[in-house]
Amino acid sequence: MKRATLLAFALSFALGVSVSDAQAQSRIFNTVKAKLAAGERVVGGTVSTPDPDIYCAMANSGFDFMWIEMQHSPLTYTDVARMIWACRGAPAIPFIRVPNATEGDIQKATDIGALGIIVPMVDDADKIRNAVTFAKFPPMGKRSQGGGQYRALWGNDYRRTANDNIMIIAMIESPAGVANAAEIAGVPGVDVVFAASSDLGSFSGKRQGDPEYEALVTAIEAGTLGADRLLGGPLAWMSTRAPYRFFQGPGTTSLIRRGASVVLEAATPCRELPAGVAPIEGEERCR
């Protein structure tokens, strides 16, 4: 008998569930979580527009996850549900930065299929503890089981597997949060603590590189790593701050602007076509 089957039998006896249920509980469909567990780094592209075509272009472009921005955008949950559904099956996993850690916000975000809940402005452990409670089904949390498109997206065993797949990211943005970094990171169910670089500067009045600013970042790092949690930050930190493994990438407007610059600066943007020949509309030969 294979070791995995033996483990499933042992788990079933310990928990009083069937072998099939025990095996289902270990199914990981959140590829971001799997990559992080394997020691890899992950990058998410930021989306704040309701256009499903733009979302799908981003979700299929190579990002590990989509950072769907609902804190600083007018996006509604109806908008986001349509975006996620339009690109179901895309490699990038949907993560939502919710406006706040309320039961209603997190319930809606998980019901429409988000596998990552990014919680802004975490100043104390109670806020992120509430987020975990609202995102997880019993016995770990108090998430209500209702309707939504989550089962159509992630499978009929979603209720049994959701707690193992939904990730919680705590954003520390102020000196108050920094002071509580170790306690925040230590809350069961927290996967990543994200150092919000811009807001740390805004709240502290210091710029990156300033000793006081860097002391705040160091405190976040110490508290997070001391609790055996992962560190997140802006993509610009990927090459300069080694401990970080979860990154927020550029937004759609920035990527469009950069992409346009590349096309305009290239002498022959469509290298496979003869010089002076325009591509046929709809064939997307220029990439």
* 27 catalytically annotated: no
Q: Of residues 41, 72, 257, 285, which has the active-site annotation? A: 72
The answer to whether the CB of 128 falls within 8 A of the CB of 119 is yes
DSSP output for the chain: --HHHHHHHHHHHHHT--HHHHHHTT----HHHHHHHTT--EEEEEE----HHHHHHHHTTT-SEEEEE-SSS---HHHHHHHHHHTTT-SSEEEEE-SSS-HHHHHHHHHTT-SEEEE----SHHHHHHHHHHHS-TTT-------SSHHHHH-TTHHHHHHHH-EEEEEE-SHHHHHTHHHHHTSTT--EEEE-HHHHHHHHT--TTSHHHHHHHHHHHHHHHHTT-EEEEEGGGTTT-TTEEEEEEEEHHHHHHHHHHHHHH-S-SSTTSPTTPPPPTTS----
Instruction: Show which residues are catalytic.
Output: 72
